[in-house]
Amino acid sequence: MVRKQLSILVIGMLMVSLMANFSLAIYEPLSVSIDKTLLDGKELSEYGSERLVVTRGDTLELEIKLRVSPQTAKVEDLQVIAMITGYEHSETNPLIESSDVFDIEKDGDEEYVSYTKWEEMELKLPEDMESGNYKLRIIMSNKDGHTSVDEYNLNIDCVGSKVSIADIMLSPHNNVQAGNYLIGMVRVRNEGEKDEDNVKVVLEIPELGVQAVDYIDELEGLDSASSEEVAMKIPVCTEEGDYEVKATVYFDDLYQSTTASRKITIIESDACELTKEPYKTPEKTIISIASQEISAKAGEKVYFPITVVNSGTTATTVSFEIQGNDWAEMEFKPSNMLIVDGEESEVLTLYVTPKEDVEGSNMFSLNVKKNGELAKQVPLTVNIEKDEEENKGITDGADLRIILEVAIVVLVIILVIIGLVLAFRKMKGSEEEDETQTYY
């Protein structure tokens, strides 16, 4: 809010500066001028034809040299402001920095010698700033004097390869009990213009020595993507407390990297005592499926996330097979076979795409094999709903069929009645003919 108010103040100062060009008599002219401006040690030329190239995300180090005329002994309540306009999100994050209010006083009695003062400032460029030409404006004023505005041409560019970490998402979000699994996912953004392939994402808790790795196959320039969910087993005897969860992303053919971190609270587990002698953790493989029944539309791809946990101490091989999938296309990613090390976990996903002509509740069986032997059969269900227009068409067709059936039944009844009438008349005609013959 303060930065927004400062932006409004600066705009007002600019308007005052323009008005002062028409009526300089209203304001007392400042006896201070900007003698030199340095950006990252390079001198800027006001309104220069050459634009200094800087990179978004950088922090601009500004050094501004102020010169006071010899006839002025002291200048009070000066303030210097640096700003860049045109940033898309400037309403909430204006690119503006201001110095403190200060005085400049002559040091010495030289009547005809001007004196100077250096003022230093920093201006941070946002990572998502659009590339292009901008102006850096240095504004100088005091309480009641003329406002001075110096402008410098800049070209803000983005680097070829630069990836940043936007978020580290954990489940559970804030705390996890020792002995359980912490599931994590990392959101990354490509800040450069170059497309990145095979971006490596490492999520770890350095203090515990546990980590998980995933790859993002393709990350286009100026785009964002998330890693797949990865699982980290928290050692059962971990002491209670806060721990750092660190994400490292490797890009540019793994030559460059960036890191970010957040905290997670680990809660002590009573199960730690069971791992000590004479107790021993039972070795078993746990198959966890988030949901065994989901809904979808015909032709729409849905997925079942599957987590395999090996609570034993030796590696085990787990494979998956499907039965009864003739109504849909099904695919495992990254593979239908996993080798899970002892006290580790792996995650895979089963993608299901129902065929266009399928509807209703459809079941299939997920067969889980451990070390080549069938260990478990899990029934899964996909409920497929037809679109409203299709349902309407089916209903209309059913109504038409019923109408036709009723019409046919009515027609048959009418034909039967007509047949009975004709037969009755024929029988009556025969009786009259017999009577006539008998009379004669």
**At residue 250, does pLDDT exceed 70?**
yes
| C-alpha distances out from residue 193 to 160, 262, 433, Å | 5, 28, 108
What phi, psi does 306 have (nearest 5°)? -125, 125
User: Using CA of residue 402, residue 404, residue 405, residue 406, what is the dihedral sign?
Assistant: positive
Q: How confident is the model at residue 94 (pLDDT cuts 50, 70, 90)?
A: very high
What phi, psi does 16 have (nearest 5°)? -65, -40
pLDDT digits (tens, 9 = 90+) for 185-196: 999 999 887 899
Q: How confident is the model at residue 67 (pLDDT cuts 50, 70, 90)?
A: confident
Round to whole Å and give the CA distance between 308 and 181: 11
Which two tokens mark 92?
């909430």
User: Up-side HSE of residue 375: CA atoms within 13 Å toward CB?
Assistant: 15
Residue 210 near residue 234 (C-beta atoms within 8 A): yes
Please report the DSSP string for 249-279 in residue order: EEETTTTEEEEEEEEEEEEP-GGGGGGSTT-
Where does residue 263 rank: exposed (0-12), middle (13-18), buried (19+ CB within 10 A)? exposed
Token pair 């101490």 is found at 313
Mean pLDDT (whole number) for 284-301 = 84
* CA neighbor of 181 nearest in space, from 137, 231, 113, 249: 231
Average pLDDT value for the chain: 82
Cα radius of gyration (the chain): 40
Higher pLDDT, 276 or 124: 124
Mean pLDDT (whole number) for 250-272 = 94
The kind and range of the H/E element at 360 are strand 360-370
Mean pLDDT (whole number) for 203-227 = 94
Round to whole Å and give the CA distance between 218 and 196: 6
Q: Which pTM does this prediction carry?
A: 0.44
Mean pLDDT (whole number) for 63-73 = 85
Mean pLDDT (whole number) for 98-121 = 78
pLDDT digits (tens, 9 = 90+) for 342-376: 888 888 899 989 888 888 888 999 999 988 888 88
Q: What pLDDT, on the 0 to 100 scale, is given for residue 419?
A: 67
Which residues sit opposite 333 in a β-bridge? 349
- The CATH code belonging to domain 163-275 is 2.60.40.10
Intrachain domains 2-157 and 163-275 with the same fold:
no
Where does residue 398 rank: exposed (0-12), middle (13-18), buried (19+ CB within 10 A)? exposed
Which two tokens mark 394?
């089916």
Which two tokens mark 390?
């299709």
Collapsed DSSP state (helix, strand, coil) of residue 16:
helix
**At residue 122, does pLDDT exceed 80?**
yes
Mean pLDDT (whole number) for 301-324 = 88
**At residue 111, does pLDDT exceed 90?**
no
**At residue 27, does pLDDT exceed 50?**
no
Q: How confident is the model at residue 24 (pLDDT cuts 50, 70, 90)?
A: very low
Collapsed DSSP state (helix, strand, coil) of residue 404:
helix
Mean pLDDT (whole number) for 421-430 = 62
**At residue 78, does pLDDT exceed 70?**
yes
Q: What pLDDT, on the 0 to 100 scale, is given for residue 269?
A: 92
The domain segmentation of the chain, as residue ranges, is 2-157, 163-275, 285-385
* CA neighbor of 95 nearest in space, from 131, 140, 48, 60: 60
The CATH fold of domain 285-385 = Immunoglobulin-like (2.60.40)
Q: What pLDDT, on the 0 to 100 scale, is given for residue 6?
A: 54
Q: Can you identify the CATH homologous superfamily of domain 2-157?
A: Coagulation Factor XIII, subunit A, domain 1 (2.70.50.30)
Beta strands in 268-327 (DSSP E): 285-289, 293-297, 302-310, 316-323
Most confident of 205-214, 297-306, 347-356, 403-412: 205-214
What is the DSSP code (8-state) at residue 17? H
Q: What pLDDT, on the 0 to 100 scale, is given for residue 285?
A: 82
